[in-house]
């Protein structure tokens, strides 16, 4: 069957220039004697979208922390654009489930925060025009001077997207970015995310709990299994681009969702 | 026909719901009026207790005698007589004590909240000292610093110090995991994380500490005056009480509480200026 062809035992990735490369990354927390990650191999190519899906506690946060350079792997190597990741880097953009905006800063001040931290207040002031352009890009024109308290959940997440993009990162690491939003906003934000990624040719790594979200956005979806966390299987999503929400009703979409769900069910007992 | 009936039923249902949601009459009276009503009720009960001689008149004066004395003391204060000087003495003690508590408490809170050294080695001592009845230190302060203003300032600061420490330390711990992780991914230094994340996030906690401290500073100063003499308002109260002049004691307490309210009010005003993003709580609402 056609479905079997998309299933490869090792996540080989897609053709193209590799941006992010993880080789045999393992992590053991010695003090607690927890084996969090086991031999993760990942190869994110330029402009591709990779999603990882898995139950809670399967080591996703550990993997993300290693990828951002906040944690060092016990074994293996993490390379980004040919250089090993040894600490926080400005070419990595990160986003969380919560917008994590700071209520004492206006939307535009929140957006330039990464610049202010890395390059100082002066550099941040110079970036205000870029920040406004980004807010415009996500449909928040006119909300530049608004404080986060007055923004809806979806709007706040869009400001967080702008903050992630202001440093012009090469890779975006998204940790369940829209799972706190309602279904309608979530679908909308997924489409926005696709548009932004395409516009900037961003390489994206998404961690999510939602199978449909993973399928509609990604080129490759990996299923992660817990204890120790590893990429149990990888599915290539062959839906044409650009993706639309209408695709969610197509049989091919349903088949892919089912395939991933089956893999997840199996993974839970491994 | 059926439609009409449905509409009628619907209307009836709506009316029931509205009736349930209807405000009680007391919600429609303006707040100053309801507050005044409660005060009047309180005075009425007081007068009743007085008239029925349920409590000895020596201990509980009549409300009228008390109000008359409030006026007497008020006139004395307004004409700048000796009571104003006393109030000014106490005000100085409270303000100095409060300011010392805020500055010292902030740095101790920073030490305890931000550094491992502070948390491991200083914190246990602070907890132990906080558990002590702090006003019991008053005689000690008097013997160290004399009967002047200094011993009262010291007690005021000492009593008001701990809420500031706790508020600051709690504030520093208030930033959530994601925010900290975000700052780390942005490559923020420890100083940047402190000034741009932890301190602003902790402001509401800090101000909770300040509000408690503002009230406690008055307590400290007055207890200091009770036990260490001097020329403050506490001394006036002590003298009036020793002469069993109960209306005077009540009147002085009323004016003293104004001092507490004023300090508290300044803190609230500052809080509104500085942390405009933080939702108001009931206690702050009271002060409107």
With helix as H, strand as E and coil as C, how does chain A read? CHHHHCEECCCCCCCCCEEEEEEEEEEEECCCCEEEEEEEEEEEECCCEEEEECCCCCCHHHHHHHHHCCCCCCEEEEEECCEECCCCCCCEEEECCCCCCCCCCCHHHHHCHHHHHHHCHHHHHHCHHHHHHHHHHCCCCCCCCCCHHHCCHHHHHHHHHHHHHCCCCCEEEEECCCCCCCHHHHHHHHHHHHHHHHHHCCEEEEEECCHHHHHHHCCEEEEEECCCEEEEEEEECCCCCCCCHHHHHCHHHHHHHHHHHHHHHHHHHC
Q: pLDDT value at position B196?
A: 92
Q: pLDDT value at position B10?
A: 58
Query: Which residue in the set B182, B192, B277 is minimally distant from A100, CB to CB?
Result: B182
Q: How far is CA B161 from CA B100, B109, B204, in A?
A: 8, 10, 17
Q: Strand, coil or helix: what is B106? A: helix
Residue with tokens 């197509």: A250
**Residue A199: what are its φ and ψ, rounded to 5°?**
-60, -35
**B198 band by pLDDT with thresholds 50, 70 and 90:** very high
- Interface predicted TM-score of the whole assembly (ipTM), two decimals: 0.80
**Dist CA A118 CA B96 (whole Å):** 40
Q: pLDDT value at position A19?
A: 81
Distance from the Cα of residue B72 to its chain's centroid = 27
Task: Name the nearest CA neighbour of A171 among A146, A120, A206, A136.
Answer: A206
Tell me: the pLDDT tens digits for A113-136?
Answer: 999 998 888 888 888 898 998 888
pTM above 0.90, yes or no: no
How many other CB atoms sit within 10 Å of the CB of residue B234? 26
Q: Looking at residues B75-87, what average pLDDT do you find?
A: 87
Task: Give residue B36's region: left, alpha or beta (phi > 0; psi -120 to 50).
Answer: alpha
Q: Are A192 and A78 in contact (CB under 8 A)?
A: no
Tell me: the pLDDT tens digits for A85-96?
Answer: 888 888 888 888
Sheet containing A18-29: order of strands: A34-45, A18-29, A75-80, A83-84
Q: pLDDT value at position B118?
A: 87
Q: pLDDT value at position B285?
A: 47
Structure tokens at B40: 């009047």
Q: Round the average pLDDT of chain B to a whole number and report it.
A: 86
Asked if A113 and B187 come within 8 Å (Cβ–Cβ), the reply is no
- Residue A169 sits at the chain B interface (C-beta within 8 Å): no
Residues in chain A with pLDDT < 50? 1-12, 269-270
Virtual torsion, Cα B276, A141, A48, A95, nearest 10 deg: 0
Task: Give residue B176's region: left, alpha or beta (phi > 0; psi -120 to 50).
Answer: beta
Q: Are A7 and A233 in contact (CB under 8 A)?
A: yes
If contacts are CB pairs under 8 Å, which of residues 67-96 in chain A contact chain B? 68-70, 87-90, 92, 94, 96
Distance from CA of B135 to the nearest CA of A (A): 39
Q: pLDDT value at position A195?
A: 85
Domain A2-84+203-269 top-level CATH class: alpha beta
**Residue B103: what are its φ and ψ, rounded to 5°?**
-65, -50
Residue predicted with more confidence, B26 or B30? B30
Q: Looking at residues B33-37, what average pLDDT do you find?
A: 89
How many other CB atoms sit within 10 Å of the CB of residue B33? 10
Q: Are A216 and A253 in contact (CB under 8 A)?
A: yes
Q: Hey, what CATH topology would domain B69-285 get?
A: MetI-like fold (1.10.3720)
Residue predicted with more confidence, B44 or A22? B44
Q: Best interface-test mutation with A: which of B178, B179, B180, B186 has the largest number of A CBs within 10 A? A: B186
Residue B57 pLDDT greater than 90, yes or no: no
Q: What angle do CA B190, B103, B272 make, to 5 degrees?
A: 85
**Dist CA A207 CA A202 (whole Å):** 16
Q: Best interface-test mutation with A: which of B185, B275, B278 has the largest number of A CBs within 10 A? A: B185
**Residue A176: what are its φ and ψ, rounded to 5°?**
45, 55
**Dist CA B62 CA A151 (whole Å):** 56
Query: Which residue in the set B187, B196, B200 is minimally distant from A118, CB to CB?
Result: B187
Domain extents for chain B? 2-54, 69-285
Proportion of chain B in helix, strand, coil states, percent, rounded to 5: 80, 0, 20
How many other CB atoms sit within 10 Å of the CB of residue A195? 13
Domain extents for chain A? 2-84+203-269
How many other CB atoms sit within 10 Å of the CB of residue A219? 19
Q: pLDDT value at position A78?
A: 84
For chains A and B, what is the number of CB pairs under 8 angstroms? 52
């Amino acid at each position: 069957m056609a479905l079997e062809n998309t299933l490869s035992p090792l996540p080989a990735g897609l053709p193209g220039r590799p941006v992010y490369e993880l080789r045999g990354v393992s992590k053991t927390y010695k003090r607690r004697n927890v084996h969090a990650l086991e031999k993760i191999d990942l190869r994110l190519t330029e402009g591709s979208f990779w999603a990882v899906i898995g139950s809670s506690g399967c080591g996703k946060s550990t993997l993300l922390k290693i990828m951002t350079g906040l944690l060092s792997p016990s074994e293996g190597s993490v390379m980004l654009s040919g250089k090993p990741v040894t600490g926080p880097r400005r070419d990595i953009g990160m986003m969380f489930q919560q917008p994590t905006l700071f209520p004492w800063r206006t939307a535009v001040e929140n957006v330039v925060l990464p610049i202010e931290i890395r390059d100082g207040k002066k550099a941040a002031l110079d970036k205000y025009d870029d920040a406004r352009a980004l807010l415009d890009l996500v449909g928040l024109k006119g909300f530049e001077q608004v404080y986060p308290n007055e923004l809806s959940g979806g709007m706040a997440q869009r400001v967080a997207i702008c903050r992630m993009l202001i440093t012009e990162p090469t890779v975006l690491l998204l940790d369940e970015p829209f799972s706190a939003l309602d279904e309608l906003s979530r679908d909308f934000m997924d489409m926005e995310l696709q548009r932004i990624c395409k516009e900037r040719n961003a390489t994206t790594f998404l961690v999510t709990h939602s199978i449909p979200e993973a399928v509609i956005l990604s080129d490759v979806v990996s299923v992660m299994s817990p204890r120790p966390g590893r990429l149990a299987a990888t599915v290539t999503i062959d839906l044409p681009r650009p993706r639309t929400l209408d695709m969610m009703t197509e049989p091919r979409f349903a088949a892919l969702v089912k395939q991933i769900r089956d893999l997840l069910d199996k993974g839970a007992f491994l | 026909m059926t439609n009409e009936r449905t509409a009628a039923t619907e209307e009836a249902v709506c009316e029931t719901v509205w009736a349930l949601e209807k405000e009680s009459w007391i919600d429609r009276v303006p707040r100053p009026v309801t507050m005044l009503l409660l005060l009047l009720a309180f005075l009425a009960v007081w007068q009743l207790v007085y008239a029925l001689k349920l409590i000895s008149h020596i201990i509980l004066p009549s409300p009228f005698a008390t109000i008359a004395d409030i006026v007497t003391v008020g006139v004395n204060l307004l004409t700048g007589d000796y009571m104003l000087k006393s109030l000014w003495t106490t005000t100085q003690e409270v303000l100095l004590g409060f300011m010392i508590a805020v500055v010292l408490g902030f740095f101790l809170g920073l030490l305890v909240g931000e550094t491992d050294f502070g948390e491991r080695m200083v914190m246990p001592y602070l907890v132990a000292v906080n558990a002590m009845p702090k006003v019991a230190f008053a005689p000690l302060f008097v013997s160290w610093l004399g009967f002047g203003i200094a011993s009262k300032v010291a007690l005021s600061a000492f009593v008001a110090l701990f809420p500031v420490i706790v508020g600051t330390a709690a504030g520093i711990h208030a930033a959530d995991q994601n925010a900290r992780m975000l700052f780390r991914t942005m490559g923020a230094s420890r100083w940047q994380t402190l000034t741009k994340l932890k301190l602003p996030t902790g402001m509401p906690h800090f101000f909770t500490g300040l509000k408690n401290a503002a009230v406690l500073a008055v307590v400290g100063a007055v207890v200091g005056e009770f036990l260490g003499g001097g020329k403050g308002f506490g001394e006036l109260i002590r003298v009036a009480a020793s002469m069993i002049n109960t209306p005077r004691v009540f009147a002085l307490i009323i004016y003293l509480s104004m001092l507490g309210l004023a300090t508290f009010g300044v803190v609230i005003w500052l809080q509104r200026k500085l942390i405009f993003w933080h939702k108001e709580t009931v206690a702050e609402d009271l002060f409107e």
